[in-house]
Amino acid sequence: MKTRILALCAALCLAAGPSFAETTNAILQRMEQRLSAIDGLKARELVGENNRGLVEVRGNGSAEAGSAVSDENRDREAVYALIAKDTGALADAVGRTRAKQIAAKSRSGVWVQDESGRWAKK
């Protein structure tokens, strides 16, 4: 997941110029810095990957996961919007496509939501 996002964003940065590159790089840096926290929340089953390409709090994890989840989702939505702008797709469609990719690459035991909205452990 991270590799594909980084590659796409790098291509977007080169095509769009320095101002856009700084914004994209800042987003990717924040996501990279937060990755271990998000992975830890997933491992403890406090969050899962929903069918829109976003992280969602599961059960009673909101107190611990709240800011990490909202920060991650804000950055994911920004990346999806950038991809949508570049490809002419809708950001929602980009997120749903990413959700399938994320679910396929998620570790065993991570909560994932299928297209119909059902949650299951991978």
Average pLDDT over residues 96-110: 97
Q: How many domains, in total, are found in the chain?
A: 1
User: Is residue 51 in some structural domain?
Assistant: yes
Residue 100 located in a structural domain = yes
User: 109 in a domain, yes or no?
Assistant: yes
- Say whether pTM exceeds 0.85: no
Q: Is residue 81 part of a domain?
A: yes
Cβ neighbourhood burial of 15 (10 Å; 0-12, 13-18, 19+): exposed
Strand order across the beta sheet in which 119-121 lies? 55-57, 47-49, 111-113, 119-121
**Residue 17 — pLDDT band, cuts 50, 70, 90?**
very low
| 23 within domain boundaries | no
- What is the rounded distance in angstroms from the CA atom of residue 8 to the CA atom of residue 79? 10
Q: 11 lies in a domain?
A: no
Query: What is the pairing mode between strands 111-113 and 47-49?
Result: parallel
* Inside any domain, residue 74: yes
Tell me the residue range of the domain where 51 lies: 30-121
Query: Is residue 7 pLDDT above 80, yes or no?
Result: no
User: Which range, of 19-23, 34-38, 109-113, averages the lowest pLDDT?
Assistant: 19-23
